[in-house]
Amino acid sequence: MLESINSTKDLKKLTIKEKEILAEDIRKYILEVVSKNGGHLASNLGVVDLTLALESVFDPEVDKIIWDVGHQAYTHKILNGRKEELKNIRKFNCIAGFPKTKESKTDSFNTGHSSTSISAAMGMAKARDLKQEKHSVIAVIGDGALTGGMALEALNHIGCTKTNVIVILNDNEMSISKNISGLNMFLSKLRARKSYTMSNIKVRKVLEKIPFIGKIIVKTIRRLKRGIKQLIIPKMYFEDIGFKYLGPINGHDIEDLESILKKAKELDEPVLIHVLTKKGKGYEIAENKPDKFHATSPFDIKTGKPLKEKTKDYSKCFGDKLIELASKNDRIVAITAAMKDGTGLGEFASKYPDRFFDVGIAEQHALTFAAGLAIEGMIPFVPIYSSFYQRAYDQIIHDICMQDLHVIMCIDRAGIVGADGETHHGIFDLSFFKIIPNVVIMAPKNFKELEKMMEFAVKIRKPVVIRYPRGGEGNEKIKKSYPIIFRKSEILSFGSDVTILAIGNQVNKAVSISKKLKLNNINAEVINARFLKPFDEYTVLKSIKKTKTIITIEDNTLVGGLGSEIKELIANKNLNNITIKSFGYPDVFVEHGSVDEIEKKYGLDEESILNYIKSTLKNKNGE
């Protein structure tokens, strides 16, 4: 069936039975692709039927469909011109794992970070109304993403303005892990009245066919209905804030889904359709462990086992060390924004359930909540991925740093993250944290240094940032490791030809480069910055004055990071005749691809840096 489908026009010609067969084909296809490439599996398998129904009733070329987070849009991509390309999804120079407006007209809004779809839908609907256009605007959002504050802000706005927007709540009772929010408690009350709406639609259709009195009966029942609903669910939250609530409905019954979507399409008011789906649908191993198959590396379809065994990564190192610190200090607590396992907090959560808080996808709340804990003397560790920290910027400035509170902000997935791409790379954090007063910014070169920095962070009563990358340590096993001293960098090798200043995991690259330079009789002074703020001007200036050439390496944008720190320093001190070159990312949004591919493209790979140093020194020495 999949072979004969090339667009949603083909889809619209199919019978329900044929669509059900197509759904099975698509699930198989997605499973094959993700088992080879890695990617988001369980969420995609869960929305195949919903996508088929949605794109049968609506026209993605005309109507606007916004996929919240966007990790579940594989079926949409298959139906909209990217069936073959799906085989290479998430690979360098191939289609992205998330909706991209530049990939297709049918991707109406870029997503990647959660809880944005309803706000975007509201904007697009208002633009439609102002332009006097007629299409539908639909946001598809999961129950996890609905816990994000923005989603609730947008519902609030749409409800009171009575804007014609359709919100499809894809409720699978899961965020990445189990959804344990208060909102989920409310949704479970709604789930309890399964198929209420569908039986309503079906009864209405039958009644309307009765000659003369059919329509009158339907009208009378409709009046009664609201009263009955209020009896069944005392607090109809969605209806009370201005939405027409339809559901709950079985998200795997394409026929029922199409009926309810057609009904929603006719209405000129805000509508929320509550759809119940199963994460991992059709692949038993993922159905049983949807959290493990939310995002996965390549795996064996038969067993579900990863093709490569997972080795220790920074998140695990962080989680293990936190348990050790917490055993010695009962003020230490941990906060996650729906990423317990991703940030390495799984064991901490089991060991210290009272000191562990999963706030849902609510980074802003997580940070101000941490501020509240800190002002009362607790020591919160808040590991959040770098790109999601972006969302809590004002909370960091206004609630934490302005009050100089002792919150330890652990920036996981800093730098290039790989296949998730531009929305998920963590290449801005050094810059956006650097401009905030009071904050102390550190980045470790390896696991051991991360542990030491965590110990150090507990001792200093200030807002602290510790940033570390996705994955494990570099190949370079650096044995030297001096104690952490406030503001102090670490000199890993002395030399007089060139200073190489690096931060975080880039220090490994600097050391490796220096060894290769040595073979060419070039002696590099390698400095591990350790602190970006406060910055160790003394050590670095001393080195620059000696070598007259400084190379900086960071996996961050060059705008406002380590490199610009040095440029400002050189300018402020009026140093002349210094050669400076900064390696980092230019002022662009970096696409998806492996770390190696991306580094090569942007000249941040070892070979490019090595060649640059060699040729610069050659020219400088007039050779």
Please give the residue ranges that form the binding site for ligand TPP (CB under 6 A): 43, 46, 69, 71-72, 113-114, 142-145, 170, 172, 174-176, 279, 294, 337-339, 361, 363, 388, 391
Please identify, using beta-carbon distances, which residue of 286 and 361 lies nearer to ligand TPP. 361
φ, ψ for residue 176, nearest 5 deg: -80, -50
Please identify, using beta-carbon distances, which residue of 363 and 451 lies nearer to ligand TPP. 363
Tell me, yes or no, if 77 is annotated catalytic: no
Q: Are 110 and 423 in contact (CB under 8 A)?
A: yes
Please identify, using beta-carbon distances, which residue of 263 and 592 lies nearer to ligand TPP. 592
Please state, in angstroms and rounded to a whole number, the distance separating the CA atoms of residues 35 and 37. Answer: 6
CB of 115 to ligand TPP, least distance (A): 6
Tell me, yes or no, if 19 is annotated catalytic: no
Cα–Cα distances in angstroms (integers) from residue 572 to residues 46, 344, 562, in the given order = 57, 42, 15
**Catalytic entry in 19, 27, 173, 363:** 363
φ, ψ for residue 109, nearest 5 deg: -160, 135
DSSP bridge partners of 426: 415
φ, ψ for residue 76, nearest 5 deg: -60, -45
CB of 228 to ligand TPP, least distance (A): 29
CB of 245 to ligand TPP, least distance (A): 18
Please identify, using beta-carbon distances, which residue of 364 and 547 lies nearer to ligand TPP. 364
HEC states along 161-173?
Answer: HCCCCEEEEEECC
CB of 530 to ligand TPP, least distance (A): 29
Q: Name the residue among 216, 243, 217 with its Cα closest to residue 229.
A: 243
Q: How does DSSP classify residue 81?
A: T
**Catalytic entry in 391, 452, 470, 533:** 391
Please state, in angstroms and rounded to a whole number, the distance separating the CA atoms of residues 234 and 142. Answer: 24
DSSP string, 179-222: --SHHHHHHHHHHTTTTHHHHHHHHHHHHHTSTTTHHHHHHHHH
CB of 491 to ligand TPP, least distance (A): 38
Please identify, using beta-carbon distances, which residue of 41 and 332 lies nearer to ligand TPP. 41
Tell me, yes or no, if 279 is annotated catalytic: yes
Other Cβ atoms less than 10 A from the Cβ of 97: the count is 28
Please identify, using beta-carbon distances, which residue of 321 and 391 lies nearer to ligand TPP. 391
CB of 382 to ligand TPP, least distance (A): 13
**Catalytic entry in 27, 90, 279, 292:** 279
Q: Name the residue among 149, 125, 159 with its Cα closest to residue 240.
A: 159
Residue type, 519: L
Please identify, using beta-carbon distances, which residue of 143 and 536 lies nearer to ligand TPP. 143
Please state, in angstroms and rounded to a whole number, the distance separating the CA atoms of residues 391 and 387. Answer: 8
Q: Are 463 and 482 in contact (CB under 8 A)?
A: no
Tracing tokens 């109809």 back to the chain, one arrives at 236
Cα–Cα distances in angstroms (integers) from residue 511 to residues 250, 445, 506, 522, 527, in the given order = 57, 11, 9, 13, 9
CB of 39 to ligand TPP, least distance (A): 12
CB of 41 to ligand TPP, least distance (A): 10
Please identify, using beta-carbon distances, which residue of 43 and 557 lies nearer to ligand TPP. 43
Residues designated as active site? 279, 363, 391
